Structure 1
Amino acid sequence: MDHRAKRVAIVGAGTSGLAACKNPQWLLHRAEVWGGVSIGYLYMNRFAELMVPRPGAGAASRLLAALLAPLAWAISAATGAYYRRAIPMREHGMEPGHGFARGVSSCLLSMLPDGFYDKVKEGSVVFARSRSFVFCHDGLVLHGAGAEKRVVPADVVVLATGFRGDEKLRDMFASPRVKDIIAGSPDTAVPLYRECVHPRIPQMAVVGHAEGLNNIYASEMTAKWVARLLDGAFRVPGVRRMEESCAEWGRYYARRSGGGGEGQRPWRPCLGAVNVWYNDELCRDMGCDPRRKRMKGQGLLAEWFQPYGAVDYADIQ
């Protein structure tokens, strides 16, 4: 059979896949709202991060975030309303059950390919939600609420369901003692200082454990930090201080993702709403000026209100 005529089923949502999921994410068709305003101006600059109680920033950050909470709510509500009108989410049963700000802070949003909803409209792409699935002779059987079942014919099935990074890290080691150290505590998933170095295994660096709205950009910054650490440009602090930092960031992830209840772990580390602040900490460690736009002579307004991205850190080697 010609590969262009195959029926393909993608199981997953978010970065790994865009077809079927238990809890719909924000699947965006463009990164602009209201006729051309980039969401970077709403969520990816220094002023936007003042609305978030940034881990490690102290009591002043929490107080300022509380004062700006009404503005943060209004931006989230307006942005979410725009995308709900612009994208036929409800029509296809894919409307998220959480606000837009939650999507940013938990990395529960993805950018769709160009023309994606044109394909949905013509019927060549079909959404299907399911609590679970099993394989059958001709494809998949999706299990909905109650006893509801749906057969999805498929020649190819792509399992884009992600993975549990904390479990993979633990399973790398044979020693039960090391597995327990990796496992962390109720406050954190795998406790990694700067989302990279385990306080009690400082010889191990992990790049890419924390997610961002742009994972390549987030991982590149962490890799630069590791390279400078290995070059001896700076040293990590003592174990106790690193563990305190890990715990504070873990509590942040729990609050912003809606997880972290008693007996539960935070869902996953996401830098979406605090990416500039996280990069500030990496820059200070590396001895670089964190105010990248001011350093390049772009002015105070640019420093606070223009979106930050990979280009701002490109000169850090």
Structure 2
Amino acid sequence: MDLSNMDDADAAALVRGKRVAVVGSGKSAFDIAAECADANGAELPCTMVCRSPQWLLHDVSVWGRLHLGYLYMNRFAQLMVRKPGAGLASSLLATLLTPLAWLVSKLTEAYYKRAIPMREYGMEPELGFAGAIASCKIGMLPEAFYDKVRGGGVVIRRSGKFSFCEDGLVLDGGRVVPADLVILATGFRGDQKLRDMFVSPRVKDIVAGSPGTTVPLYRECVHPRIPQMAVIGYAESLTNIYAIEMMAKWVARFLDGAFRLPSVRRMERSVAEWGAYMRRSGGERFRRSCLGAVNIWYNDELCRDMGCDPRRKKGLLAEWFQPYGAVDYADIQ
């Protein structure tokens, strides 16, 4: 965050001519490593220290020749997911479709492992592709990233832990990574940011909830016991701007008086259902909330609250098999 708050010139000056180590394996770590490689080249390679590699793919619009929207971002794909509050029939159908969901995930994994040299550099993710979608542990590679690795501008080191030493970092087995500058791209605590907005210890505990649950937000926007505050963007998605825009529309409609919130008990029951889903889908780390595998289902709930038709496509086949995106909700003001 310190680096991202700098302007481009200051950030480039900070890393130029230095031995840089970046700790992390998410999109921010890849982006920073690529920028350091552009600044210093192979003469002073940037070292990425990774614990658990994630799925970093090609261009987000098409992601190579495979358009993931037709596999994971349409209504038919979401039939294969156990959705919060969907009822017994939906859960049974998702269970019956488990073999198909497994096959789609494995074929997608095989395609990207062949298209991207992640295995060659020890960056093959342990988490399956469907699990990565469900937990938002997926992102877009910087342009020509693995070309920079081949050219020596980026060096990848796998390690379960690290510590500092006089000359840089010490990794598993006592390996030393020489570094003048270490950049920690290890994530941030959104729940702590919410807590820090308040002075009252009681309100701090209410807004963050218990450590073993996700942050309790109804429709991922409003705390049942603090309805005067709306939170936009705490929940993640595969395309965050699209998800955040829908949350903002929902909050704007609520403020305009288009609908009322249900009782605190009903909101807390809904929060518990969504929290159980988030924990199952792997979003418990850092108490994250991810809408990746259920984004359409989530938008359906927002649409029904706002009095809008959740079915946004023209024609039965389009409704079930075409990808959903921001353009489908553009007419909701």
TM-score of the pair, normalised by structure 1: 0.88
Partner SS for 2:120: helix
Native 8 Å contact 1:105 1:273 kept in 2: yes
Match in the other structure for 1:153: 179
Instruction: State the AA in 2 paired with 1:299.
Output: G
Native 8 Å contact 1:191 1:246 kept in 2: yes
Q: Do structure 1's residue 118 and structure 2's residue 147 form an aligned pair?
A: yes
Once the 2 structures are TM-superposed, how far is the Cα of residue 64 of structure 1 from its aligned partner?
0.8
Instruction: After superposition, give the CA deviation of every residue in 1:83-114 in whole Å (9 maximum; x if it has no partner).
Output: 11222222212111111000000011111022
Equivalent positions of 1:213-228 (< 5 A) are 213-228=238-253
Once the 2 structures are TM-superposed, how far is the Cα of residue 135 of structure 1 from its aligned partner?
5.0
Change (3 A) 1:307 1:26: same
Separation in structure 2 between the aligned mates of residue 149 and residue 172 of structure 1, nearest angstrom: 41
Separation in structure 2 between the aligned mates of residue 47 and residue 187 of structure 1, nearest angstrom: 32
Match in the other structure for 1:312: 328
Instruction: State the AA in 2 paired with 1:59.
Output: L
Match of 1:102 among 131, 134, 145: 131
Match in the other structure for 1:229: 254
Match in the other structure for 1:197: 222
Number of residue pairs aligned between Structure 1 and Structure 2: 303
Partner SS for 2:260: coil
Once the 2 structures are TM-superposed, how far is the Cα of residue 46 of structure 1 from its aligned partner?
0.6
Identity among equivalent pairs (%): 67
Partner SS for 1:250: helix
Match of 1:57 among 73, 76, 86: 86
Structure 1: 5+ residue runs without aligned partners? 260-264
Equivalent positions of 1:161-200 (< 5 A) are 161-185=186-210, 188-200=213-225
Separation in structure 2 between the aligned mates of residue 136 and residue 278 of structure 1, nearest angstrom: 47
Separation in structure 2 between the aligned mates of residue 6 and residue 314 of structure 1, nearest angstrom: 47
Structure 2: 5+ residue runs without aligned partners? 1-9, 31-47
Partner SS for 2:281: helix
Match in the other structure for 1:262: none
Q: Do structure 1's residue 143 and structure 2's residue 155 form an aligned pair?
A: no
Partner SS for 1:110: strand
Match in the other structure for 2:301: 281
Native 8 Å contact 2:215 2:287 kept in 1: no
Partner SS for 2:176: strand
